[in-house]
Amino acid sequence: MIERSEAAGGVIITASHNPIEWNGIKFVRSDGTFFTSVDCNNLFDLADRNKPIKDSKQPGMFFPDQNSILKHSIKIVELSTIDAKAIRDSNFKVVIDAVNGAGSTALPLLLEHLGCDIVKSTVKVMVNSIVARTLARSFRKVKKICY
C-alpha cells in the first residue's frame, strides 16, 4: 500500500489476541518494507532529542480504500515466488481460525485466489483470552474435517 500510494512511509498499529506486550507500532519505509533496526534507532534518536516538530507546509492526504485487502491478496498471488498454479492444482483444504484478527478477512480472500477449499472455524475468542479450552475446540474441528 505504501509503495503504491507513493507515501514517504507508513505506520501499522497492531493489537491482537496475543498478550498485550506483543501489541505495538510497526514503521514502514517508502518501498513498503519494514524499518530495519538502524532505521528504528535513527527514529528513536530523533524522538529522544525532543525537538519541536515543524508544521507541514500543506496537509497530508487520506485515501480510504475499502478494497485494500483484496488488492493486497491479488498482489501476493501474483508474486513470482508464489507458484499459484501448483497451489491451485493441489486442491488444498484449509481450516482457518484467525482468532477474529485481521486474518479473518484477509486469509479467506488470499486462499480463494489460490483455489483452496476453505473451512472457517467458528471459534470466537476475546482479545487477550486464548485458553486451552478454546484451542482444544479448534483442534477438534480440524481433526473432524481432516480425518
**pLDDT per position as a tens digit, 37-73:** 999 999 889 888 888 877 778 777 776 777 888 888 8
In a domain, 10, yes or no: yes
81 and 116 share a domain?
yes
32 and 85 share a domain?
no
Whether the CB-CB separation of 113 and 73 falls below 8 Å is answered with: yes
Residue 34's domain comprises 2-48
In a domain, 141, yes or no: yes
Q: Can you give the pLDDT at residue 103?
A: 75
Residue 29's SS3 state is: coil
Active-site annotation holder among 5, 16, 56, 104: 16
**pLDDT range class, residue 81, cuts 50, 70, 90:** very high
Whether the CB-CB separation of 105 and 118 falls below 8 Å is answered with: no
Question: Global pTM?
Answer: 0.55
Rounded CA gap, 110 and 141, in Å?
Answer: 22
81 and 142 share a domain?
yes
Number of structural domains the chain divides into: 2
Q: Which pairs with CB-CB distance under 8 Å and at least 24 residues apart come from 85-92?
A: 87/114, 87/115, 87/116, 88/114, 88/115, 91/115, 91/117, 92/116, 92/117
73 and 141 share a domain?
yes
Active site residue 16: yes
Q: Can you give the pLDDT at residue 134?
A: 60
